Amino acid sequence: MGNMESTASEKSRNILVVYYSRTGSTRKVADYITKQLGADMEMIIDMKKRSGVFGFVIGGMDALMRKETKISEIKKDPSKYELVIVGSPLWAGNIPPAIRAYLNKYKADIKSVAFFATSGGLSQGKIFEEARSLIGKELISFMGICTKELNDDSVFEAKLSSFIESIAQKK
Ligand SMILES: Cc1cc2nc3c(=O)[nH]c(=O)nc-3n(C[C@H](O)[C@H](O)[C@H](O)COP(=O)(O)O)c2cc1C
């Protein structure tokens, strides 16, 4: 048993979950994946104020215009990991400025990448295609989950399990 445990943590030590979350939905998914895989985690902080109605509107416009933003200093070096799993909310059908800034800065350090997106509506649109072209690498796996699914425990667990399984298979 002790042996099995050490093997499992050995295997997953090389995964980093990087996410940005304005209101906690993407964090919920990131937390779950991090725990399940025994991964390390990095939370990206947007230095620009994104709260309130004004923050929402400007945020949407910035995302739409593919703008970057200033992000806080990172704590984990992505080049140290075999796989980076990026978690992002969908903003105006696109990648929010904080995730864009992170990826532009560190894409060359990312060996292998998987991507998940949370959204208010049912569809995550073209965010995965956008992520793939921004990073310049195929996503080994991707998953989108909407608010309704996030709040339904059985759907949440089913979606997350299949995403985690597909990552484990391809890693
Ligand atoms: C600026 C902004 C733009 C958004 N645009 C979309 C959108 O185009 N389509 C969609 O389905 N949800 C959209 N949403 C909703 C978020 O994608 C959804 O609530 C997400 O799960 C929030 O994640 P978070 O709680 O981690 O910040 C938008 C939210 C914000 C703040």
Q: How many CB atoms neighbour CB 146 within 10 A?
A: 19
Tens-digit pLDDT profile for residues 98-113? 999 999 999 999 999 9
Q: How far is the CA of 51 from the centre of ligand 1 (A)?
A: 13
Report yes or no on whether pTM surpasses 0.85.
Answer: yes
Instruction: Print pLDDT tens along the chain (171 aa).
Output: 444 444 444 444 699 999 999 999 999 999 999 999 999 999 999 999 999 999 999 999 999 999 999 999 999 999 999 999 999 999 999 999 999 999 999 999 999 999 999 999 999 999 999 999 999 999 999 999 999 999 999 999 999 999 999 998 887
Residue with tokens 């739409």: 64
CB within 8 Å of 136: residues ≥ 6 apart: 107
Q: Which residues pair with 46 in a beta bridge?
A: 71
Nearest atom (ligand 1) to Cα of 21: 26
Distance between CA atoms of 39 and 25, rounded to whole angstroms? 19
The predicted pLDDT at position 12 comes to: 46
Query: What is the spatial distance between Cα 138 and Cα 132, in angstroms, rounded to a whole number?
Result: 6
**Protein residue with its CA nearest to atom 3 in ligand 1:** 91
Q: What is the pLDDT of residue 169?
A: 86
- Residue 48, phi then psi, degrees to nearest 5: -90, 140
For ligand 1, atom 15, the nearest C-alpha belongs to 120
Determine which residue's CA is closest to atom 30 belonging to ligand 1. Answer: 91
Amino acid at 97: P
- What pLDDT was estimated at residue 170? 81
Q: Considering only CA atoms, which of 110, 111, 103 is closest in space to residue 44?
A: 103
